[in-house]
Amino acid sequence: QKDADSIRAEAAIASQTNLAKVKAFPINAAKKITVAGYTQVRYQALEETGKIDGFDIRRARVDLKGTFSPYWGYRLQFDLAGTPKLIDAYAELKLNDYFNFTIGQAKIPFSLENLASSTKLELIDRSQAVEALVARGKDVGGNQNGRDIGILLGGTILKLKDRPVIDYRLGVYNGAGINTVDNNEGKDIAARLIVHPVVGLDISAAYYDGSRFVPEVKTGTVVTTPSKTVNRDRFGLDLSYDLKNFSLRSEYISGKDDQTEREGYYVLGGYYFFQKKVQLVAKYDFYDTDKSKPDNASTWYVLGANYNFNANTKLQFNYSIKQEEGTSIDNNFANVQLQIGF
Amino acid sequence: QKDADSIRAEAAIASQTNLAKVKAFPINAAKKITVAGYTQVRYQALEETGKIDGFDIRRARVDLKGTFSPYWGYRLQFDLAGTPKLIDAYAELKLNDYFNFTIGQAKIPFSLENLASSTKLELIDRSQAVEALVARGKDVGGNQNGRDIGILLGGTILKLKDRPVIDYRLGVYNGAGINTVDNNEGKDIAARLIVHPVVGLDISAAYYDGSRFVPEVKTGTVVTTPSKTVNRDRFGLDLSYDLKNFSLRSEYISGKDDQTEREGYYVLGGYYFFQKKVQLVAKYDFYDTDKSKPDNASTWYVLGANYNFNANTKLQFNYSIKQEEGTSIDNNFANVQLQIGF
Amino acid sequence: QKDADSIRAEAAIASQTNLAKVKAFPINAAKKITVAGYTQVRYQALEETGKIDGFDIRRARVDLKGTFSPYWGYRLQFDLAGTPKLIDAYAELKLNDYFNFTIGQAKIPFSLENLASSTKLELIDRSQAVEALVARGKDVGGNQNGRDIGILLGGTILKLKDRPVIDYRLGVYNGAGINTVDNNEGKDIAARLIVHPVVGLDISAAYYDGSRFVPEVKTGTVVTTPSKTVNRDRFGLDLSYDLKNFSLRSEYISGKDDQTEREGYYVLGGYYFFQKKVQLVAKYDFYDTDKSKPDNASTWYVLGANYNFNANTKLQFNYSIKQEEGTSIDNNFANVQLQIGF
């Protein structure tokens, strides 16, 4: 019955699978390693003129992780969607609860939503301010997947009854993004302080002091604007609260790119139903791309429903109502995303 | 004795292997996953002036597959040869024998030879019509490895004594190919009906109703030809028959790209000798790239011999006699391909 | 206590890890396969004006290897750092101690330092002559990671008391480098003879007879220089000696690119301390990029210290004093590299 589809041409996959069943060997390594992976298949329906509805493979990740000794850990994650690229490549050195180093390419310690795995997000897309200010798709430095190359020191500052109450992160980074070398001598600094007043509640403040290299502009062979290094600073506050079926997330992020000041914030609430099979979510998401100018902010109202088939398979529906300051355009959109992984 | 080659510099690989033997850990995942992979090393000797003989790595695939529950399956396959890229990334939802969904990037349900794994092909290269009309190297839409992004529904229509006799496939796709987003609002439709009259014999008919986006053409800043969407339709019939040591494959495919009508067909016969160690193959392969014009069809006669060292290692020799309508050119070629996998 | 850092956003990784612990399945394959991998995170501090100090992910490798039968072996290695690419993809056919074939993309049998795995190098960077003459970063043919596509035959010529005393390698390659097809009809030949007079001592001589395709140069539509094929020949001698805590490596390489003759050599000594936890290394490294011209050679003095945290984790410090013939420039540099793998 399982072979119902087994015409010869299409049986290739099945026969390989069967072969694997008949005689299978565990794949070995010299150290204890786990592999995880997931794929997100998305369909977007966009109201805006000129934007194309359609399917895409949004992420197709493979993730290798291992704890090699009481001190050393390792992670290597790559994404095969679109143009394949390395996402994470770092060593972890865990001295104790208070001092831990992450060395290599990894997430910068900034923004709740940035630090959350995309597999765990309540909504399909991250918020406007996170996309624009935290080394993601709309940041001046291009999409770095919220990551950079450098060294992060982190740990607990204060414990009460063995429960961490205050944690910290302190990082130094190239600031030039992932999968490349640095392009200026200045290094970026990131700092983050996390307070856990009660179980389930996390409140954080973070600061990022960066510099960005802007290459020279030429007209023909004449340098019309010389290269320069400009500010790329960020400040953020975020809050995360989980109580039984209820979830609350909120962030405020401000940024300064050269002379331009930007800011945004969001509030997201979610509630689980039917033994956590279904989650309904709503988000208010505001972002102002230049505080000194009028009519360039936008407010998004996002409604979402998640269905968890099982621990590894999830279907997400989102509808986003997008409102622009000044002249509004028809640009609402609906999203459906199927996520499956192991 | 195994260490005969162990001068220090070249012992690196061996010592890593030894290390793995000394203390090896199975690599774990949260779900049951199998990994497969294979490499094809090819040497081509081409008679045609200006074509270069030489080696290449034709495919270097890694393939992750898992059945996560009675309902959900997963596949992630990527190719590292040339420019690395994602090949397959899909979820499978198996409701029953009659309704199964494949969601993501996967093969389109068209053409026997397209649907056959390249590891199982009797000859090194696919036929002309399949390369030109089924989203492969010579298709107007570029090489998509016979795949697209979308949703496929498939299953059995009719069973007799628990043996499937009629199967179907029905898919909707972007039509823009793999590892990209869609470029037009129209979605492509693929349908395929497979009949299994007796064991070993499969007869199929397939239809593909597609549209292709052609970008505007500019001369300087003036749009000389505006962008447009044109037909990309396909129709195919195929047959596959296996009886003991004998194999027969045949296909007819016609296609319409905008106003151009194309068609091609092939007949392939193979026979196994020496307990299936050796297989001899012959193929007649015709393709007409524009039915309305003379002297643009070509007929290839391909002779092949396959030697199976073991279940995972195969050596293939091919000789192709290529004949062109009208002015013929000297373009016969010989191919040797070693395939090894796990 | 291990969960000290577990604020929700940053707990994603940890929770995945925990999940894997709770219910973990070994990943299976149809054949016995081992996986290895490593990452090198580097920080460079460069004295030279205009060169930027900073972090980078130098290598992020994943390496699959298997011995499938007494005769057949397999290797697939890819590097995810920067632009992901395939490094090794080959089959090994081991007939006996005397005749072994390596078929596919693999290291060419030339240069001690080229053949050494980058995980085993005593210093962070390879020597000038190796980088410039052995299909690496400064070779005329571009960086091919010391590899090419072709067939290598190798084995033992002479054994005394079951110890190999003389080994050989003989290869034929495209000569066009990795992950591409050939660009000229000529094939390159490589030969290497390795003598092991006593245990721990290897002395080798190697020759490489290559040709390189130089594309035509156009000014507008006029071909000012037609395409041509020029010599790319190499000759090398190398020596490797290990005795208890002491290591000695030395190479001489000369090369001829078209009419230009080049040569270089190095001598490296290393000594282990503290049960091989620490290794101190010094290297004299000379390279002359054109023997017929004055003032274009450079001499590097490199000092290194390696600290082995464990078998898979290593920290390397290097300081390079670079002296140029003729006008000297300030271009000394310091390197730190953390290597972790499994």
Token reading at B224? 């000389």
Q: pLDDT confidence of B328, banded at 50, 70, 90? A: confident
Contact criterion met (CB < 8 Å) for A27 and B26: yes
- Window 161-180 of A: residues touching C by CB (8 A cutoff) are 162, 164, 167, 173-174, 176, 179-180
Rounded to a whole number of angstroms, the distance from the CA of C259 to the nearest CA of chain B is: 25
Residue C54 has its nearest CB partner, among A71, A182, A196, at A182
Give yes or no for a contact between C15 and A65, defined as CB atoms under 8 angstroms apart: no
Predicted confidence (pLDDT) at residue A108 exceeds the cutoff of 70: yes
Q: Which of B94, B33, B83 is nearest to B63 (CA)?
A: B33
Sequence-distant contacts of B142-145: CB under 8 A, at least 24 apart: B142/B177, B144/B177, B144/B178, B145/B79, B145/B87, B145/B178
| Span A246-305, pLDDT tens digits | 999 999 999 999 999 999 999 999 999 999 999 999 999 999 999 999 999 999 999 999
CA distances to A4, A255, C62, C86 from C97, in Å: 49, 66, 29, 29
Per-residue 3-state assignment (H helix, E strand, C coil) for chain A: CCCCCCCCHHHHHHHHHHHHHHCCEECEECCCCEEEEEEEEEEEEECCCCCCCEEEEEEEEEEEEEECCCCEEEEEEEECCCCCEEEEEEEEEECCCCCEEEEEEEECCCCHHHHCCCCCCCCCCCCHHHHHHCCCCCCCCCCCCCEEEEEEEEEEEEEECCEEEEEEEEEEECCCCCCCCCCCCCCEEEEEEEECCCCCEEEEEEEEEEEEEECCEEECCEEEECCEEEEEEEEEEEEEEEECCEEEEEEEEEEEECCEEEEEEEEEEEEEECCCCEEEEEEEEEEECCCCCCCCEEEEEEEEEEEEEECCEEEEEEEEEEEECCCCCCCCEEEEEEEEEC
Q: Kindly report the number of other CB atoms within 10 A of residue C292's CB atom.
A: 10
A254, HSE (Cβ side, Cα atoms, 13 Å): 6
Domain positions in chain A: 32-341
Give the position of tokens 């975020």. Answer: A238
- The maximal CA–CA distance of chain A, rounded, in angstroms, is 73
Contact C86, B84 (CB under 8 A): yes
Q: Which of A8, A56, A80 minimises the CB distance to B240?
A: A8
Distance from CA of A46 to the nearest CA of B (A): 10
**pLDDT bucket at A14, cuts 50 / 70 / 90:** very low
- Of A12, C11, A262, which Cα lies nearest the Cα of B38? A12
Cβ–Cβ gap B33/A313 under 8 Å:
no
Mutate one of B33, B52, B62, B63 to test the C interface: name it (highest C CB count within 10 A): B52
Residue-wise pLDDT tens digits, C93-148: 999 999 999 999 999 999 999 999 999 999 999 999 999 999 999 999 999 999 99
Interface of A with B in 79-118 (CB under 8 A): 80-84
Q: What chain B residue is nearest to A68 in terms of C-alpha separation? A: B25
Per-residue DSSP letter, C116: S
Fold of A32-341: Porin (2.40.160)
Distance between CA B19 and CA C311 in Å, rounded? 10
Nearest Cα to Cα of residue C74 among B273, B213, B61, B85: B61
**Residue A319 at interface with chain C, using a CB cutoff of 8 Å:** no
CA dist A66 and C340 (Å) reads 11
Q: Which of A24, A27, A81 sits opposite B86 (nearest CB)?
A: A81
A112-126 pLDDT per residue, tens:
999 999 999 999 999
Across the interface, which of A66, A86, A174 has its CB nearest the CB of C81? Answer: A86
pLDDT tens-digit readout, C260-315: 999 999 999 999 999 999 999 999 999 999 999 998 999 999 999 999 999 899 99
- In one letter, which amino acid is A307? Y
Share of chain B residues as helix, strand and coil, in percent rounded to the nearest 5: 5, 60, 35
Condensed to tens digits (0 to 9), the pLDDT of residues B187-236 reads: 999 999 999 999 999 999 999 999 999 999 998 889 999 999 999 999 99
Residue B46 contacts C where some CB pair is shorter than 8 Å: no
C262-282 as b/e: b if 16+ CB within 10 A: bbbbbbbbbebeeeeeebebe
CA distance readout (Å), A269 to A131, A194, A247, B128, C10: 19, 21, 6, 56, 19
Is C1 a residue whose pLDDT tops 50?
Answer: no
Give C315 to chain A, closest Cα distance, Å.
12
Distance (Å, rounded) from C-alpha C152 to C-alpha C103?
A: 6
pLDDT category of residue A3 using cuts at 50, 70 and 90: very low
Residues from chain A that touch B59, judged by Cβ atoms under 8 A, are: none
Q: What part of A 194-233 touches C (C-beta under 8 Å)?
A: 194, 196, 202, 204
B contact residues 62-81, partner C, Cβ 8 Å cutoff? 62, 80-81
Distance CA A311, CA C69 (A): 39
Percent of chain C scoring above 90 in pLDDT: 84
Give domain C40-56+97-341's CATH number out of 1.10.287.3510, 2.40.160.10, 3.40.50.620, 1.10.357.10. 2.40.160.10
Q: CA-CA distance, A340 to A335, in Å (whole number)?
A: 16
pLDDT at residue B220, as a whole number: 85
User: Do B311 and A10 count as a contact with CB atoms less than 8 A apart?
Assistant: no
Is C54 in contact with A112 (Cβ distance < 8 A)? Answer: no
Residue C97: which of B1, B13, B36 has the nearest Cβ? B1
pLDDT in tens, C221-231: 899 999 999 99
Query: Are A12 and B66 inside 8 Å of each other by CB?
Result: no
Q: Are B79 and B61 in contact (CB under 8 A)?
A: yes
Give contacts of A 18-37 with B, CB under 8 A. 19-20, 24, 26-37
Contact B17, C27 (CB under 8 A): no
Tell me: the pLDDT tens digits for C30-57?
Answer: 999 999 999 999 999 998 888 999 999 9
- pLDDT over threshold 70, residue B12: no
Match 């068209």 to its residue by tokens.
B110
Looking at residue B13, its pLDDT comes to 44
Q: Which residues of C touch B1 (CB under 8 A)?
A: 97, 162
Within an 8 Å CB–CB cutoff, is residue B313 touching chain C? yes
Chain B positions touching A137 (Cβ under 8 A) are none
- Length of chain A (residues): 342
- What is the tally of helices (H) and strands (E) in chain B? 3, 20
Separation of alpha carbons A224 and C85, rounded Å: 38
- Separation in Å, CA A44 to CA A41, A55, B178, B247, C328: 10, 7, 16, 44, 60
Interface contact flag, B30 A1, Cβ < 8 Å = no
- Out of B16, B28, B39, the one facing C26 most closely (by C-beta) is B28
pLDDT one-digit tens code per residue, A148-160: 999 999 999 999 9
The per-residue pLDDT for range B259-291, each reduced to its tens digit, is 999 999 999 999 999 999 999 999 999 999 999
Please say whether the beta carbons of C60 and C81 come within 8 A. yes
> What's residue A22's pLDDT?
56
Domain B40-341, what fold? Porin (2.40.160)
Residue of A nearest to B181 (CA): A56
CB-CB under 8 Å, B33 with C25:
yes
* Among C28, C60, C341, beta carbon nearest to A86: C60
Distance separating alpha carbons of residues B256 and B210, to the nearest angstrom = 10
A123/A42 Cα distance (integer angstroms): 13
Say yes or no for a CB contact (<8 Å) between A202 and C32.
no
**Alpha-carbon gap, residue B187 to B211, rounded angstroms:** 7
What is the pLDDT averaged over residues B51-67? Answer: 96
Provide the pLDDT confidence category of residue B46 given band limits of 50, 70 and 90. very high
Please give the Cα distance from A10 to B240 (Å, whole number): 11
Nearest CA distance, A235 vs chain C (angstrom): 17
B positions 142-161 inside 8 Å of A (CB):
149-151, 154-156, 159
How close, in Å, is residue A204 to chain B by CA atoms? 31
Outline where DSSP puts E strands in B161-277. 163-173, 188-195, 201-214, 217-219, 222-225, 228-243, 246-257, 260-273
For residues B144 and B137, what is the distance between their CA atoms, to the nearest angstrom? 7
Closest Cα in chain B to C172 = B55
A neighbours by CB contacts (3+ pairs under 8 Å): B, C
Q: A27 and B31 in contact by Cβ < 8 A?
A: no
CA distance A114 to A121: 10
